[in-house]
Amino acid sequence: MIAFVTYKMILVLVIFTITLAIAAYSTYAERKVAAFLQDRVGPDRAGPFGIFQPLADGLKFIYKEEIIPNVSNKLLFVFGPCIAMLTALMAGVVVPWGDTVFIGGKEYSLQITDLNIGILYVFGVVSIGVYGIMIGGWSSNNKFSLLGAIRASAQMISYEIAMGLAIIALVLMTGTLSLREITMQQAGGLGGDWNFWNVVYQPLGFLIFIVCAFAECNRTPFDLPECETELVGGYHTEYSSMKLGFYLFAEYINMFISSAVISTLYFGGFNFPFMNNLGLDHNMISIIGTIVLFAKIVFFIFFFMWIRWTIPRFRYDQLMNLGWKIMIPLAIFNIALCALISLYINR
């Protein structure tokens, strides 16, 4: 029992550290990708190739002057970014980061906890994140911050509906809400147990899910809550120092977790082609699977950045029309289509 608890504590610490490190260096990657697409150099002063830029940014946020407006609700003003950061970190506990490993003859899972309602847990935690943004904008007592918070809340709630409907079709097909079970169903090899990844069976659901993920993370072209040309700085206009850093950092953590969930639900998670035909032992397959999962995550993070520097921002009416008049009807159609196909196959 003590060994199990110790292992889980170490796993939590490792996942927490990796999440923060990837989120920090996503800011560096964002600038490098933008520079590449715009034919610039990007960060190149802080260390070789600018690799210490995230550390410089972190120190800058720590040492910046801490300002809390006199007219703000000071308790909620501090509480807002804390909720945004906490909910961003909590979502990763149900993601299966790898298969099981054997240590000292005992089997351990590379997943912090395997909830049988893992998908619902992710949606619940993400929904709480809306409060962090709304509280931050309202407590600032600034009309531009409040407008940005209202935009963010309306946008995230609207696209959460379509995202949830896309997941319903996937649950109809897999018959489970557990992220580990969904991942294991996508495992296979060259023989009769060959299985395709869920993206093959649910291409429309994947398209809906990834578009909604952009909106949930407030990424371009869905970055209306913080568009500088209209709202000064959006819901975090009045924030400075590390409280502002928490909001910005939470966005990159959400992008990392979204990429992990997309990879798990639709692209096999830690599974990879021919994994059962390599002749390697179980632990080595698990290690390779974890590396493969993180490679998928890195690809989707790059995709988030690629879209940001390629597609212009929507108008707000275009954003809401897309969510309510296109994404939700498409998601409902996908559920009906999936149900009909399931009835036909299982008759």
- Is 275 a member of any domain? yes
- Is 232 a member of any domain? yes
* Torsion (CA) 174, 340, 159, 94 in degrees, nearest 10: -10
Total number of domains constituting the chain: 1
pLDDT tens by residue, the chain, 347 residues: 777 788 889 999 999 999 999 999 999 999 999 999 989 988 888 888 889 999 998 899 888 888 888 888 889 999 999 999 999 889 889 999 988 888 887 888 889 988 888 899 998 998 898 899 899 989 998 888 888 888 888 888 899 999 999 999 999 988 899 999 999 888 865 444 556 889 988 999 999 999 999 988 888 888 877 666 565 667 888 888 889 889 988 989 999 999 999 999 999 899 888 887 777 888 899 999 999 999 999 999 999 999 988 888 888 889 899 999 999 999 999 999 999 988 888 77
Would the pTM count as exceeding 0.85? Answer: yes
DSSP state of 325: I
- Is 10 a member of any domain? no
- Is 336 a member of any domain? yes
- Is 292 a member of any domain? yes
Q: What's the confidence (pLDDT) of residue 228?
A: 60
**Range of 303's domain?**
65-101+111-346
| Residue tagged 């975090």 (tokens) | 236
How many angstroms separate the CA atoms of 340 and 172, rounded?
A: 11
Q: What's the confidence (pLDDT) of residue 190?
A: 46
- Is 279 a member of any domain? yes
DSSP three-state, residue 101: strand
- Is 15 a member of any domain? no
- Is 58 a member of any domain? no
